[in-house]
Amino acid sequence: MVKIAPSILSADFANLEAELKALEESGADMVHLDVMDGHFVPNLTFGAPVIKKLRPHTSLPFDVHLMVTNPEAMLEAMADAGADIITVHAETAPHLDRLLDEIRELGCKAGVSLNPSTPEEVLNYVLEKIDQILIMSVNPGFGGQSFIESQLEKIQRVKELIAGRDIEIEVDGGINPSTAKSCIEAGADILVAGTSVFRGEGDYQENMDALR
């Protein structure tokens, strides 16, 4: 069964404690935390201090997605804040191999994310150091964008590249019941969803079931 990682980017930022509780009660598999720096992506969200304050309020794993130009500088703070998985963008990491080592040395799972235009070949020589691959199906920066269809082929290619290794494929951006189905068929293990989880009357379980 595919895992659902709701992105709190679409949650009520004034009420995050309650939102985390609601996610937990609704059967979310993890919490996706979008860290944006206003440089790598145009938007600005939150950093380690906020994540640290959220940590005691749920036992769900924290899946931290770093959309920042210098991820190296904040790895330690993220691990200290309670991140379980730290994902860095390949585009921001000229020394990706070393960065992945550092994430694991901090006791976290290591993820690599690829923008829609970034070819999957960049993963070739670091596969043994990766626990999760995050395929962006929108250009990162904002919630509520439309799914980019070309990424379905990338999911399939990444699945082949992994060749049975213990690496999960996560897809992020524009996930709704229809695109979720296509992603699952292409090989996705985890779906990140903001808009389609945090909508309607607040019945997150129904929204997540629709994606599964």
Residues that bind ligand DX5 (CB under 6 A): 7, 9-10, 32, 34, 65, 138, 140-141, 143-145, 172-175, 192-196
Distance CA 127, CA 31 (A): 24
The gap between the terminal CA atoms of the chain, to the nearest Å, is 7
Long-range contacts for 12-19 (Cβ within 8 Å, ≥24 apart)? 12/198, 16/54, 16/57, 17/54, 17/57, 19/198
Could you say which of Zn ion, ligand DX5, none residue 175 binds, taking C-beta under 5 to 8 angstroms by partner kind? ligand DX5
Could you say which of ligand DX5, Zn ion, none residue 138 binds, taking C-beta under 5 to 8 angstroms by partner kind? ligand DX5
- Residue 168: exposure state from Cβ atoms within 10 A (0-12, 13-18, ≥19): middle
* CB burial readout 176-188, b (16+ within 10 A) else e: beebbebbbebbb
Number of residues that bind Zn ion (CB under 5 A): 3
* 172 flagged as catalytic: yes
Q: Which stretch binds Zn ion (CB under 5 A): 81-89, 101-109, 168-176, 179-187?
A: 168-176
Q: Which of residues 46-65 bind Zn ion (CB under 5 A)?
A: 65
Residue 60 DSSP symbol: S
Q: With binding defined as CB under 5 A, does residue 172 bind Zn ion?
A: yes
The distance of closest approach from Cβ of residue 68 to ligand DX5 in the complex, given in angstroms and rounded to an integer, is 12
Contact 87, 64 (CB under 8 A): yes
The distance of closest approach from Cβ of residue 125 to ligand DX5 in the complex, given in angstroms and rounded to an integer, is 25
Could you say which of Zn ion, ligand DX5, none residue 174 binds, taking C-beta under 5 to 8 angstroms by partner kind? ligand DX5
The distance of closest approach from Cβ of residue 164 to ligand DX5 in the complex, given in angstroms and rounded to an integer, is 27
The distance of closest approach from Cβ of residue 151 to ligand DX5 in the complex, given in angstroms and rounded to an integer, is 12
Which residues fall within 8 angstroms of residue 48, CB to CB, at 6 or more apart? 74, 77, 78, 80, 81
Instruction: By CB under 5 A, name the binding residues for Zn ion.
Output: 34, 65, 172
Q: Active-site residue numbers?
A: 34, 172
